[in-house]
Chains A and B, each alone.
Chain A
Amino acid sequence: MHRLLDDYAHENGLRGVSPKLKLAIGAFSIIACIASPTPAVPLAVSACLSAALIALARIPWRLYIGLTAIPLSFALLSASVVALLSPGEALVSIGALRLSREGMWLGLLLLSRTIGGTSSLFFIALTTPMTEIFAILRSMGLPESLVELSMLIYRYIFVLLEEAMMVRSAQEMRMGYSSIRSSISSSAMLASVLFIRAWERGERLMVAMDSRCYSGRMPLVESHSVRPGHLAVSFIYILSITALLLAVIRGGSA
């Protein structure tokens, strides 16, 4: 958490690629994962995008594996509930719990979809800075107040996060988290100090922006154009995943 993913987005190897292209690849990958009836497509998506992230974007692989482990723990829990509830002839049964072949497949499918989807999310998050995503959202015609609010929230997340960490380490040094009781009261104090400081910052921000003639619209630059080489590689990727998806769907129905 101390280093947000956004830091990598600003200094990775794929920074020069058009953000629209990266967003399109990410969105396509997510939809391909959900649409797939077997684990093959999500796993292929995950392999391609992970390779791109580690080899092309030069994201440290240790960091990447650590990041992927977080969502997988939730997915594992929910996937096992789904697997145990599914119909079919019991393969193994322990007491009231029984696991069927179909249930096991459904559980594995869900797990692989989460792996593929998480890789797609990280592909967007680790290669594309938020400011470029805002420019795309605006060009997509989302309401001005919504884009503007998102940008201001984005800016203030970093400010408040830093403040929260400072208060927290000060509390830790004074044994503020030594027992459950004191950590509850410390957390409450931290949250309220944060709210009050956020409010004061908001009031100051208002004055600062007014004095710079803020009109309710902050200008954004969108500089990257799509290069033919990038387009060709993306095209090959999208084509091969689509081919795999179609093959899997046809194979399932036959």
Chain B
Amino acid sequence: MHIMEGFLPHPWWEIWFAASLPFVAYGVSRIGRMAREQRETLPLLAVAGAFIFVLSSLKLPSVTGSCSHPTGTGIGAILFGPWITSVLSTIVLLYQALFLAHGGLSTLGANVFSMGIAGPVVGYLVYRATQRFNLYLAVFLAAALADLATYVVTSLQLALAFPAADGGVLLSLKAFAAVFAITQVPLAGIEGVISALMFKYILQARSEVLLRLNVISKMDLARLQGGMT
């Protein structure tokens, strides 16, 4: 869900830049601190960012036939937390604009807010809240709801910029949401399933990575591995 270059009029593109800036600035300061304290984090974050880019350029099976792709931000937020994901998403969105003409430079602020901030924050909170009950269900919900949050925020951004004649922002929001729902709602479900399966494979192959990232606790791991064998 990217807003294309040139689509957001003045003053909306400036507003969304201003809204995203504090989050990303805080994320950058955290990354700077981490890079000074633990030198090994920067290369790991770099491959994580590249991973999000490649994940979002993979085509997914889609019900409507249009080429949909995952955002990868839900799983990013689970693995690295929302702050760092917001910085990684900003860089990834910049590359998507320049390499693939997905999104744009003037709409970068709005896209960072929907895909790099709203989605990851929702995904992270959902994961942390539901993790206790069932890990795979938590990953599914986090990834799917992160996608849905991104889609709702994008619709809202467009609705605020183009309110309907009679009915205003609300009617406009309904119209945009309805048009995008055709592709975005099934996509959220598919991304959720894929993220949960992906989590399972990573747990089987390299569970210590998840422990190091503090995504799961030792107790969870012992319980899950007990259940797997």
Interface of A toward B, CB cutoff 8 Å: 1, 4-6, 26-27, 30-31, 33-35, 42, 67-68, 70-71, 74-75, 77-78, 81-82, 84-88, 106, 110, 113-118, 120-122, 124-125, 130, 143-146, 148-150, 152-157, 159-161, 164, 177, 180, 183-185, 187-196, 198-199, 201-203, 205-206, 209-210, 216
* B125 located at the interface, meaning its Cβ lies under 8 Å from any Cβ of chain A in the complex: no
B5:A121 contact, CB within 8 angstroms: yes
Listed stretches B6-14, B116-124, B145-153, B217-225; interface member: B6-14
Closest to B159 in A: A85
Please tell me which one of the listed residues B35, B92, B98, B163 contacts residue A124 in the complex, with CB atoms under 8 A apart.
B98
Number of interface residues of B (CB under 8 A): 74
B5:A118 contact, CB within 8 angstroms: yes
Please tell me which one of the listed residues A34, A122, A125, A205 contacts residue B6 in the complex, with CB atoms under 8 A apart.
A34
A114:B54 contact, CB within 8 angstroms: no
Q: How far is the CB of A198 from chain B (nearest CB, A)?
A: 4
A188:B197 contact, CB within 8 angstroms: yes
Q: Which DSSP category, helix, strand, loop or mixed, fits chain B's interface? A: helix
Q: State the 9 A-B residue pairs at the shortest beta-carbon distance, nearest first.
A: A87-B165, A117-B6, A152-B46, A117-B5, A188-B197, A156-B50, A113-B6, A192-B201, A153-B49
A6:B28 contact, CB within 8 angstroms: no
Asked if A82 meets B162 with Cβ closer than 8 Å, knowing A34-B106, A74-B4, the reply is yes
A199:B97 contact, CB within 8 angstroms: no
Compute how far the CA of A145 lies from the CA of B98 in the bound complex, rounded to whole angstroms: 21
Closest to B35 in A: A145
Q: How far is the CB of A59 from chain B (nearest CB, A)?
A: 13
Asked if A74 meets B2 with Cβ closer than 8 Å, knowing A157-B50, A187-B61, A194-B54, the reply is yes
Please tell me which one of the listed residues B4, B10, B55, B95 contacts residue A191 in the complex, with CB atoms under 8 A apart.
B55
New A-B contacts (14) at CB < 8 Å, excluding given A85-B172, A87-B165? A75-B4, A113-B7, A115-B6, A120-B5, A121-B105, A124-B98, A152-B42, A153-B91, A161-B57, A177-B61, A184-B193, A187-B61, A189-B197, A194-B51
Chain A residues within 8 Å of B98, by CB:
5, 121, 124-125, 130
Chain A residues within 8 Å of B7, by CB:
75, 78, 110, 113-114, 117
A188:B201 contact, CB within 8 angstroms: yes
Chain B residues within 8 Å of A164, by CB:
54, 58
Chain B residues within 8 Å of A194, by CB:
51, 54-55
Asked if A161 meets B158 with Cβ closer than 8 Å, knowing A1-B100, A30-B6, A85-B164, the reply is no
Closest to B66 in A: A73
Q: Contact string, B22-35, partner A, CB cutoff 8 A, digits 1/0?
A: 00000011011001
Compute how far the CA of A143 lies from the CA of B104 in the bound complex, rounded to whole angstroms: 22
Chain B residues within 8 Å of A35, by CB:
10
